Homo-oligomer: A and B are copies of this chain.
Amino acid sequence: MSPTITAFKSSPDRGRGLARDMRVRWALEEVGQAYDVRLVTFAEMKQPAHLALHPFGQIPTYEDGDLALFESGAIVFHIAERHSGLLPDDANARARAITWMFAALSTVEPPIVDRSMATLMDRDKPWYEERLPILDSRVRDRLGQLSHHLGDTDWLDGAFSAADLMMVSVLQRLAGSGLVEAHPNLSAYIARAEARPAYRRAFDAQYAVFVAASGA
């Protein structure tokens, strides 16, 4: 039996691949694991059936036999632990890759999401013009540090791993902001990841959901 994940029936990102099921699809494609997708509406996400899978009423979830998980980071890690290809075999390299997974989610993503939420929800607020530079500055600090670490290497630590998958998915939310583009090595890093066949397959699969939902 293939695992089943959940994804938005109608994604607010309009098929740009920013919904967090994309991370799980990408990981499953990288390791060659087939999967089923159950699409859920925003209303369904707040119903008891979905809340039993995800206490915070979000997507994605992951069901495999009698195991049910949530949180994209945890699901990607679970996939990476059970298949080869997403975490190094060497114990120290593996620990460092896991460190970068946590860094993507705990240190790099929060200021990016804060900025993204402000641009989506606070544009009409009286404080928007004054707050945006503060939010930009926090993102810039993180990107500068990340760019410095990456230097001219292809991936965060040795070969491509689940850490790069998570970090790229976090950075993609900045597309069009000009913030990533200030660091050519970060732009190249994202492009390198997006060129992976597994990424393309995952992107196309989520995009097909958007096309179907929009009746195109």
Contact = CB atoms under 8 A, between A and B. Distances in A.
A141 B42 CA distance: 16
Contact of A125 (B57, B105, B127): B127
A109 B102 CA distance: 13
A125 B129 CA distance: 13
Contacts of A70: 99, 103
Interface string A45-86: 000000100011110000000110111111101100000000
Given A78-B98, A127-B126, A149 B55 contact: yes
Say what secondary structure dominates the interface of chain A: helix
A69 B92 CA distance: 9
B95 A67 contact: yes
The number of times this chain is found in the oligomer is: 2
Interface residues of A, number: 41
Contacts of A51: 145
Best-buried of A107, A113, A131 by chain B (most CB within 10 Å): A107
B95 A74 contact: yes
A58 B131 contact: no
